[in-house]
Structure 1
Amino acid sequence: MDIIYVKNINSEDIVLCGAMDKSIIIPIASQDYHFGIRFKPSILSFLLNQSCDKFTNKIISIREVSGSIFKQLNFEETHEKLKIKKLNFIFEKLFIDIQINQSISSCINKITASKGTILIRELVNESSLNHKQIERTFLWYVGFSPKKFARIIRFFNAHKSLIQNGIGNLTNTAYELGYTDQPHFNKDYKTFTQMSPTDKKMSIFYNTNK
């Protein structure tokens, strides 16, 4: 989840961008100003004290979510380094008394460390939570089920691998990350990016269209 400062000719706002399981295109004109803050999974739910699945695949003004947080974040500062310094100070104060749910943090870390390949039953076996509790906890703190979150993490690592290594060996990349075959990988890739990994538009990442 992200908090984004948006400023253009017609309007100015601070928006909350919920967890996304699909890509979206947001037009940005040359004179527009965007400044974003990305939070690790589950962190904003502790601050907002609201279920993250309410915001999944949504972009909403932060003032509609929490007027008090909007007031603290709504300050004028054009110098980016000073803005970052002030935001760090604000969030350090906001998070100082928040208790992190260690069970969900542990599950998130295990999914991330496995690059999304860990099975949900393994999480249950290694956690103090049962299957239904993990499902409910993930929806509240992350905005997705653990299965979908793992799927997104796996896709992210596949995408990262293609950026680093190119598309020369898609099949190996697919197998290394637990996909049953390349078509399975291609289907996931298209779901999240609306493009296939061999699409010409992706050549800007993979240098395949020189």
Structure 2
Amino acid sequence: MTYDTFQPHPDLASLVKCYWTLEVPPAADSQRQRIVPDGCIEMIFTLGDDIKRYTSADEFIIQPRAMILGQTIEPFFIEPTGYVNAFAVRFYPYGFTSFVTASLHSLANKETPLELLFGDTPAAELEQKIIPATDAKERIQIVEEFLFTKLKSEITIDNIVKSTVGALLETNGVAPIKSILKDDPSKRRQLERKFLNQVGISPKQMGRVIRLQTALKMLLNRQSDSLTSIAYESEYYDQAHFNKDFREFTGINPKEFLGHENMELSSIFYAD
């Protein structure tokens, strides 16, 4: 399995977190992989064989080969049908709203084909350029040219949304929303509405996802062998609170996370 990340053009760096590529040779006994929420929206191109996404224990769909994966608040399973070769754009939580007119809440917890957001012809032309490109550098140039054409003349991210995301990231997801709003309750409903539109999930959900990611990184980087210590450093109320959130977002307990065969892909994505 080969996973690499690449930095965006400076003029897109406030909106695009990174580009990434993933290659996995075909295997006779390929395992389902559990994908957990990370607070980002991604534009993904499948360049190899199809990828299944399970909608229940036994039922699945084939993911679109050029799609937007919206915000997720629960884990889901994917499974390769053969050779995995993917190229993707990972946007910051509020980054994708600057390229589309759709509410990002409408994209949550599902895959959306590119043509539904950008139109049949532009989406097809982009995919037809991405597929035969020789390497990641060329694909990045192609997708950045596309993003620059779609970038709104004025970036319309509300300051209240951007500052809230910033405060949550700076505090690993634990900044109380009321403190961000400076105890002005009249702004809370406005923030909730703008967050759903420009991020895709609520401020509270985003905070929980960010806090979980902090704990996941500590686990993956083995910064502590004590789950109680990780729960404390991630500012959960107690071990039970940590376990509850962990299971809700990953589907398993913290003790099961490391070395779990279904977590290999997520472990690579979220270790940085």
| TM-score bracket for this pair, using the shorter chain length | 0.7 to 0.9
The match for 1:6 is 46
Q: Aligned partners of 1:127, 1:112: CA distance in 2, in Å? A: 21
Q: Does 1:83 align with 2:139?
A: yes
What's the CA shift for 1:176? 1.8
Match of 1:25 among 77, 90, 94: 77
1:62-85 superposed Cα distances (whole Å, 9 cap, x missing partner)? 112220651452233331221112
Identity %: 24
Match of 2:104 among 37, 48, 52: 52
- One-letter identity of the residue aligned with 1:61: P
User: Aligned runs of 1:57-206 on 2, under 5 Å?
Assistant: 57-67=109-119, 69-76=122-129, 77-80=132-135, 81-95=137-151, 97-101=153-157, 102-125=159-182, 130-165=187-222, 168-199=225-256, 202-203=258-259
Q: Which runs of 5+ in 2 are unaligned?
A: 1-40, 51-61, 268-272
C-alpha contact 1:47 1:94 (8 A) present in aligned 2? yes
TM-score norm. by structure 1 comes to: 0.87
Q: Aligned partners of 2:112, 2:90: CA distance in 1, in Å? A: 15
C-alpha contact 1:107 1:127 (8 A) present in aligned 2? no
Q: Which runs of 5+ in 1 are unaligned?
A: none
Q: Aligned partners of 1:180, 1:69: CA distance in 2, in Å? A: 48
1:2-57 superposed Cα distances (whole Å, 9 cap, x missing partner)? 11112455797311111011121211133243221111111112211111111110
Secondary structure at the aligned position of 1:192 is classed as helix
Query: Which moves more between the two structures, 62-71 or 186-195?
Result: 62-71
Q: Aligned partners of 1:117, 1:32: CA distance in 2, in Å? A: 36
C-alpha contact 1:4 1:34 (8 A) present in aligned 2? yes
Secondary structure at the aligned position of 2:79 is classed as coil
Q: Aligned partners of 2:145, 2:186: CA distance in 1, in Å? A: 34
Q: Aligned partners of 2:181, 2:160: CA distance in 1, in Å? A: 11
Match of 1:35 among 83, 87, 94: 87
Secondary structure at the aligned position of 1:165 is classed as coil
Q: Aligned partners of 1:5, 1:128: CA distance in 2, in Å? A: 42
Q: How many pairs align?
A: 205
- One-letter identity of the residue aligned with 2:44: I
Measured at CA, do residues 9 and 116 of structure 1 come closer, stay the same or move farther in structure 2, by a change above 3 Å?
Answer: closer
